[in-house]
Amino acid sequence: AAPPAGAGAADRPRAMQVLDRYIIFEGDEGVVVIDQHALHERVLYEQLRKRILAGQVESQRLLVPRPVELSAREAATLLDHQDLLSQLGFGIEPFGTNTVLLTRYPALLARADLDRLLRDLAEQIGCGGPAPTRRDLLDELLHMMACKAAVKAGQRLTSEEIASLLEQRHLIDDAHHCPHGRPTALVLSQAELDRQFGRMG
């Protein structure tokens, strides 16, 4: 029997992870090197932002609310921003001077260290400069959450994870930068590669 059409093409890997942190694939613009963490962060940031605008952040409710010990200042900061945090999917209740009760958290952060997460949130809110706008603050927290939930550099990905990440790349507008403005992609055009190899055509 004849091989199915396109069988030869299917044999070729379309993308490859290198150094456990970059993904290389062939795009329309040439050879593209992707920073897996930066791209994933960017994808998650955009997804979260859309969900928040639509009021649809998925939240995971804790069966038993979790007391989290903080400094008095950190606890006060979080309680001062209960509304904002609720929008992001966090349920925070008062529980004494140095402690808050975490009742729910964004499903996206299921694998995060929740105690540390709350301390980081308090710090991030506190660092916003003199009276940051609610919008700026929300944006900063989104960045933080996206960064924490994204795959890390050094994490080995399966071919399915690589394919999924590259697919999501097309869903966002400016895929070439992470939310912090760092590039997520480095493009080696064919012309540039040819030049480097002395293939002047």
To a copy of itself, the closest distance from the beta carbon of 170 in angstroms equals: 19
Q: Which is nearer to a copy of itself, 78 or 157 (CB)?
A: 157
Strands 91-94 and 99-106: antiparallel
Q: Which is nearer to a copy of itself, 170 or 197 (CB)?
A: 197
Q: What is residue 111's three-state secondary structure?
A: coil
To a copy of itself, the closest distance from the beta carbon of 63 in angstroms equals: 34
Q: Which is nearer to a copy of itself, 30 or 96 (CB)?
A: 30
Exposure class string for 57-93: b at 16+ Cβ within 10 A, else e: bebeeeeebeebebeeebbbbbeebeebbeebbbbbe
Which spans of this chain sit near a copy of itself (rule: CB under 8 A)? 8, 11-13, 15-19, 22, 24, 26, 30-31, 33, 35, 38, 153, 156, 158-159, 182-184, 186, 188, 190, 193, 196-199
Q: Which is nearer to a copy of itself, 35 or 46 (CB)?
A: 35
To a copy of itself, the closest distance from the beta carbon of 32 in angstroms equals: 9
Q: Could you give the angle at the alpha carbon of 139 between the alpha carbons of 136 and 140, nearest 5°? A: 90
Compute the residue count for the chain: 201
Paired tokens of 137 = 């603050």
To a copy of itself, the closest distance from the beta carbon of 43 in angstroms equals: 16
